[in-house]
Structure 1
Amino acid sequence: MALVIVLALIVAAFFAGEWIARDLITKTVRQQLAARLDISADTEIDVDIPGSLLLQAATGRIDEATVSSSDVTVGDLSGQVSVTVHDIGIWDGGSISGGQATLSLDTAQVQALMSQVDGFPADTLGLSDPDVTMSTAISALGVSIPVGVALTPSADDGDLLLTPASLTVGGAQITADDLRSRFGTLADAVLQSWRVCIAQELPAGLTLTAVSVTGDRLVAVFAVDAGSLTDAALAQKGSC
């Protein structure tokens, strides 16, 4: 009976220590993110560390940690954010082997982003899996002809790129060649690709690698540099 009681106390102490350690790490992560990303200190942030934190801490490294929030604003970007990093050093200043981050934006948030792009009709923008959609018009002989454009999102050299994929005129699908044959150089403004640099809004340690429309949200995926938590330069905003 005495042995059972002792074992029960050891188990209880272990789980109490586990809870305290997770609470401490969660608070620390929130404080660091608030300082590094200039976000509100009361922003709801979830921290998930699979497995036993105490057992991993005993080895000096944490296998994986995911930080997420449903509402984060960084610069002019707002959306749902999730960041997963791997092989985190506890005693060496927070080294990591790398990671991945995702930023998920709804229609209004993408409109706010694209409103900064000169000439883009952001108020007509929509999200229709797998494309970003917009409406514009070609003026010919005093007549305004509405054109619907479906744009395929992608990542290109760290930038967001929107490339025309399909067109509609008067509700009917039309090819890019047909549009050019009808309107000549007037079609160029409709058929152009739109490039958006977002590096200046985010830490330099994040590089945009993929973009897609999933359901009614635009999802951007970033690679997290291994030096993101230890190199001060990578914590600073990037540049365009």
Structure 2
Amino acid sequence: MTVGDTQPTQPLPDWTTAPPEPRRRRRAWPWILAAAIVIGLAVAAWFLGESIARGIVEKTIRDQVVTSLALPADQEVDVEVAGTVIPQLVAGTLDDVTVSSDDVSFGEFSGDVTVHATGIGIRGEPEADAATATVRLDENELKALLAGVQDFPVDSLSLASPDLAVSTELQFLGIAVPIGVSLTPSAADGDIVLTPSSLQVAGAEVSADDLTSRFGAIADTVLKDYTVCIAQYIPAGLTLTQVQVDGDHVVADFDVDGRIASDPALRENGTCDA
């Protein structure tokens, strides 16, 4: 008996059925990175398109304002379109636009102007659902406006919030009596109205009745309202609604006819009765 006869026979390994290799797990980060790059490019393209669209819209509005209101070609006009522009262009309406410019000339005087409009249609006739304007005048600009008001003591004018202050004189028995008058501004029928609200005689506070009892009918020259017509200086599409003294400025608020951009007649200045 040989050694081979006494050892158990072992089966030969099956080399054709090797154990499967563990499955490789694909890495996700390259795909995430690729997706992030695509999204980033899309966002960049959106903002690039938005920036271009905004620039075109704001320049167009600025050019239209300069042309329509006959402003100097180099007039600095700031335009702000609220919200994202591209969806508004698609919808055909600019939701909220603010236009402002300093030192805008109105004939003999000038002021800082801000116009705010909402719901501006950009297809067909350009009209707004609603619009308002604000004009701010400093003391010198206000004096230029009031210089044409008959008998108004413009040289003594100063701003004393919430009123205007002027000084004048009453001639009584050959004596010049200094009178100080505080005037409260308001709006009436599109005009500025300056109404005496307090009086001082030689620095002492007096009432209107006291002034009349002392000086009689000549007191009427300082007790009267001053009406300031501004229609000749502004487009007919603007209607004065409020006037107030705010610090070192007089602020005038206007309603603006939403058709002013499409109707030339509304852009023409109004007239004042002689």
TM-score, with structure 1 as normaliser: 0.96
Match of 1:230 in 2: 262
CA RMSD of aligned residues (A): 1.2
Identify which of 37, 42, 48 aligns with 2:69. Answer: 37
Identify which of 104, 109, 112 aligns with 1:77. Answer: 109
Match of 2:55 in 1: 23
Shift of 1:34: 1.8
Identify which of 232, 236, 242 aligns with 1:210. Answer: 242
Q: Deviations over 1:54-99 (max 9, x none)?
A: 1211111111100012221122231111000110111122111121
Identify which of 218, 222, 229 aligns with 1:190. Answer: 222
Largest Rg, 1 or 2: 2
Q: Distance in 1 between matches of 2:245 and 2:267?
A: 28
Q: Whose strand proportion is higher, 1 or 2?
A: 1
Alignment partner of 1:61 is 2:93: yes
Shift of 1:142: 1.4
Q: Distance in 2 between matches of 1:28 and 1:116?
A: 37
Shift of 1:197: 0.8
Q: Distance in 1 between matches of 2:216 and 2:80?
A: 55
Q: Is the 8 A contact 2:68 2:261 kept in 1?
A: no
Q: Distance in 2 between matches of 1:18 and 1:139?
A: 69
Q: Is the 8 A contact 2:130 2:257 kept in 1?
A: yes
Match of 2:9 in 1: none
Match of 1:160 in 2: 192
Q: Deviations over 1:124-161 (max 9, x none)?
A: 11111100111111011111111010001000000000
- Secondary structure (helix, strand or coil) at the match of 1:207 reads strand
* Runs of 4+ more than 6 Å apart: none
Q: Distance in 2 between matches of 1:174 and 1:18?
A: 63
Match of 1:144 in 2: 176
Shift of 1:191: 0.7
Per chain length, whose mean CA-contact separation is higher, i.e. which structure has more relative contact order (CA < 8 Å, sep 6+)?
1
Shift of 1:5: 2.3
Q: Is the 8 A contact 2:165 2:180 kept in 1?
A: yes
Q: Distance in 2 between matches of 1:54 and 1:235?
A: 29
Shift of 1:39: 1.7
Q: Deviations over 1:168-216 (max 9, x none)?
A: 1111101111111111111111111000111111111100000000111
Q: Distance in 2 between matches of 1:232 and 1:127?
A: 36
Q: Deviations over 1:25-58 (max 9, x none)?
A: 2222222222222221212211111110112111
For structure 1, the residue ranges without an aligned partner over 5 or more in a row are none
Task: Supply the AA of the counterpart residue of 2:102.
Answer: S
Shift of 1:238: 1.5
Q: Is the 8 A contact 2:126 2:259 kept in 1?
A: no
Alignment partner of 1:170 is 2:227: no
